[in-house]
Structure 1
Amino acid sequence: MKGILLFLVLITGVALTGYVSGVDKSVSSDDSVRLATKTVISNLNVAWEITWGPDNWIWFTEQGGSLSKVNPETGERKILLHIPEVYRYRSLGLLGMAVHPDPKKPYVFLDYTYKNGTSILSKLVRYTYTADTLINPVILLNDIPGATGHNGSRVTIAPDGKVMMSTGDAVKGANAQNSGSINGKILRINIDGTIPADNPFPGSPVWSLGHRNAQGLAFGRKGILFSSEHGDAVEDELNVIKKGANYGWPFVEGFCDTEKEQAFCKTTEVTVPVKSWTPVIAPAGIAYYNSSTIPGWRNSLLLVTLKTQSLRVLKLNEAGNEVLSEKTYLDHEFGRLRGVCVSPAGDVYVSTSNRDWNPGEGYPKKEDDRIIKIFPAKAGSTIVTQKKTVKPVLLPGAVIYNNYCTSCHKSDGKGIAGIFPPLKGTSQVLGDKNTLIHIMLKGLSGPITVKGQKYNQEMPAFNFLSNKDISLVASYIRTQFGNKASTVSEAEVSKVRAAKK
């Protein structure tokens, strides 16, 4: 049953805040190994994808259009390619990348956004690497409809050598259920761009459908493909991707547990997630971890998140298809995290994403963006720890606001000029209560003007919240940030909800 989870998330495990000699700081314990973090490289233009390269360097894309590699030990950087065609705006740019694991096939697959007139599009291009450069670009997929968000764009190589790629619905939910559209899908193609004969839809690259915005793809044990996917206001998902399966969007978020969802699931076979998150966490890159270097993480999926700014370790069952437990690390240590990869030695690397579409809350910092190494602290290192800080107990309205509103409107209610409207002193917040309640229940889509500035607002509907929760958060924003308006009662929310039906 969908509903709000009113709690403050605490780090699981023993949190160590301080530093290890010779590195940045300690991060946490996996209950068997003390771990440390170290910045490998900084001042990047959002390292969207990171992967372990064939030369034992970390290869990474930057949204600005550059593909580079960095020596994980020395921090030396070499730029391999710059693509002038890349269109960089907010979350757009040079995004997904996969390096073919077979050294006899020295291919790199890159996905990026570009513009044709006023249209935003994406393409998947295969390059051949030689020495320290990439040559011979071959377009595999072209003119994929894009948007200012929901572009998916994660790329990986399957055990059978096929290329797998996620596409978002391009902010048009109907695309996801349309098998004739390649938006809102997981795609599967040969390395030359042709369509595999065993794809579920003949002549189509579509492998699965019904996706909103999958930003993580990784193979676990036994060739099981996982994807991490952004929900709307609820039900971020971790899915096991199956041939020809339908994952429900836009008619199903997470599980088939509401009246409307159950009606759709009676007529359409929907594959539900192996795990979901409400409130949403904005899941990004994922990687499979099966090294003995960090024993407690063995046979786990490593998931990095944007909204909750954390690394999640999702322990899998022996079959590798179910999540048994979840632990949270790097809780708000480095800001938004976008990419993750694992070295052959079992060290973990994550990349930050603080200079993209939604800065704020103290980010970006001077050294952003960064690639950070997580590794076992050496024996004898001096670890300085501090007492755990106790998070303040928040008002219920503040908890709801933090879970659903802070990532856009920020903790001070100021939003981001031209992107997310402020909540302080605005007519939409301080004016007629029924208008505010209606906006919260129905959401907004399209241009609005706030304090004389235009915003192209895409706000999800929060009608899944109870009348009590709506009244609490509405009252919070009407009485905080310098606002001094009257509170909203449950009865007032109930009346608007009833009229809306």
Structure 2
Amino acid sequence: MRSRRPRAGWSSLVLVVALATGLTSCGGGGESDDHRVTPVRSATPVPGTGAPNVPAGPTATAPPEPVVAGELARDLNTPWGVAVLPDRDALVSSRDTGTITRFGPGTVPPVPVGTVPGSVHRGEGGLLGIAVSPRFATDHFLYAYLTTDRDNRIVRMTYVPGQPLGQPEVLLDGIPAGSNHNGGRIAFGPDGMLYAGTGEAGRKEAAQDKSSLGGKILRLTPEGRPAPGNPFPNSPVWSLGHRNVQGLAWDSTGRLWASEFGQDTWDELNLIRSGANYGWPEVEGAGDRPEYMNPVAQWATDDASPSGIAILGDVVYLAGLKGERLWRAPITGSTVGEPKAYFQGRYGRLRTVVAVGGELWLVTNTTDGRGTPRKGDDRILRLVLS
């Protein structure tokens, strides 16, 4: 159940923005302006960094508008993670079936490439995030985050087009698993390290326990060991106090941003700092407590339930499941400007958004058991920025 509420005292540091959002695609149509979106404003330094949490201000040029330019794939079963290949084709994972499919401009229609053994679908678990090695052209490694019958784990295998997937090599196991709150996003950062967002699997206390891999963002070497420079000795933990992290992306300065599911009240967009504590379960949303990091922005859970995020041109794009919309928020200093919503209700639940060159690929997720599939679902949409 969702029951946590933000603690009293935070409201003096935030500004509730009334949004006028446009439903922008190939056509028009308005949305209501009653969405609760709260960019968090604070003049005090970000704890542990000395960096100011810079208030958002007007940008010199308004960010471009995302417009649907076509479909790259359709009739997919519970698509979850996307990994872009060097030739701009991509791989997509199926949460429920454990299969991986290749799609893209060079692969029409999509082609199944194999099944990852050991993946077990239960609730929100199964085959989740995937990522290709930064040295894929030479090592051909594909990484996956999956739920087994006893845990969540990160594996890697070889993928050579036209050949079967290689046998998975376990890099990290023992990540708590449950019917929900499994996290699952993995991505390589600009430092060449592998980052993973995990959930607390319904055991709230795990998020504050540094010895647990649940409710964390992890940072690993490509071989699965704790990365050099991690804040806690011999630990893969990069940050803690998370409820369920499912979005990871980096801006032009190399800073990590993450989306996080709230419980009843606030979903979050966070700017991630090494060793920082983001407060769950003591705080949901902004808590104005110096020991915990405030989110950069927060959404009412009905309006977001965020999964994947992408950053393109220092603008954050956030895919909403329950909110059934794509949020756009320009980065301004250490926070974001006024968020704007697109495609509300038009394509159903949205699971993942990825930046590919100068465009976005958006993954729908109406076949995940909580949506209402339509003919052709699920699909991957190609968005251009007008």
Q: What interval of TM-score do these two structures reach, taking the shorter chain for normalisation?
A: 0.7 to 0.9
Report Cα offsets for 1:1-44 as digits up to 9, x if no partner. 569x99997533766537xxxxxxxxxxx886683342221111
CA RMSD of aligned residues (A): 2.6
Aligned partner of residue 140 in structure 1, secondary structure: strand
1:46 to 50, 70, 78: 78
1:262-284: CA deviation from partner (whole Å, max 9, x where unpaired): xxx36xx2111111113542011
Structure with larger Rg: 1
For residues 193-252 of structure 1, what are the alpha-carbon distances to aligned partners after superposition, in whole Å with 9 as ceiling and x for unaligned? 122232111111111100000110111111100100011111211011111110000001
1:337 aligns with 2:350: yes
The one-letter amino acid of 1:308's match is G
Task: Tell me which amino acid in the other structure corresponds to 1:325.
Answer: E
Q: Counterpart in 2 of 1:328?
A: 341
Secondary structure of the equivalent of 1:176? helix
Query: What do the CA deviations read for 1:427-486 (whole angstroms, capped 9, x no partner)?
Result: xxxxxxxxxxxxxxxxxxxxxxxxxxxxxxxxxxxxxxxxxxxxxxxxxxxxxxxxxxxx
Q: Secondary structure at the match of 2:339?
A: strand
Amino acid at match of 1:11: T
Q: Are 1:128 and 2:128 counterparts? A: no
Letter in 1 for 2:298: S
Deviates more, 1:78-87 or 1:335-344: 78-87
TM-score, length-scaled by structure 2: 0.81
| SS of residue in 1 equivalent to 2:238 | strand
Larger displacement relative to structure 2 (303-312 or 130-139): 130-139
Matched, 1:307 2:338: no
Alignment of 1:24-35 (within 5 A): 35=67
Report 1:68-467 matches (<5 A): 68-72=101-105, 75-102=108-135, 103-116=137-150, 121-133=151-163, 134-257=165-288, 265=289, 269-280=291-302, 281-290=304-313, 299-317=314-332, 319=333, 321-344=334-357, 346-359=358-371, 363-375=372-384
2:41: which partner in 1? none
Which residue of the partner structure matches residue 17 of structure 1?
27
Q: Which runs of 5+ in 1 are unaligned?
A: 19-29, 258-264, 291-298, 378-501
For residues 321-376 of structure 1, give each alpha carbon's deviation from its aligned partner in whole angstroms, at most 9, with x where no partner exists.
Answer: 320121211111100000111222x12111111111423xxx11132111111126
TM-score, length-scaled by structure 1? 0.63
Query: Alignment identity in percent?
Result: 34
Q: Which structure 2 segments of 5+ residues have no match? A: 1-9, 29-61
- Per-residue displacement from partner, 1:287-315 (whole Å, max 9, x unpaired)? 1112xxxxxxxx20111000110111111
Shift of 1:176: 0.2
Does structure 2 retain, via aligned residues, the 8 Å contact 1:216–1:229? yes
Q: For 1:250 and 1:201, how far apart are their aligned partners in 2?
A: 21
Q: Give the CA deviation at 1:129.
A: 2.2
The worse-fitting range, judged by mean Cα deviation, of 77-86 and 61-70 is: 77-86
In structure 2, distance between residues paired with 1:216 and 1:368: 22
DSSP 3-state at the match of 1:76: strand
- Work out whether residues 90 and 358 of structure 1, in 8 Å CA contact, stay in contact via their aligned partners in 2: no
Change (3 A) 1:136 1:87: closer
Aligned in 2, Cα 1:227/1:328: closer, same or farther, shift over 3 Å?
same
Letter in 1 for 2:335: E
* Relative contact order higher in (CA < 8 Å, ≥ 6 apart): 2
CA contact (8 A) 2:239 2:275 kept: yes
Match of 2:93 among 61, 81, 93: 61
2:48 corresponds in structure 1 to none
The alpha carbon displacement at 1:253 in A equals 1.1
What amino acid sits opposite 1:82 in the alignment? Answer: T
Which AA in structure 1 matches 2:142? V
Amino acid corresponding to residue 72 of structure 1 in structure 2 = P
**In 2, Cα distance between equivalents of 1:279 and 1:7:** 16
User: Would you tell me which structure has more helix in proportion to its own residues?
Assistant: 1
1:165 aligned counterpart, secondary structure? strand
Q: What is the alpha-carbon distance in structure 1 between the residues aligned to residue 63 and residue 309 of structure 2?
A: 22
Kept in 1, the 8 Å contact 2:126–2:148? The answer is yes
Amino acid at match of 1:67: I
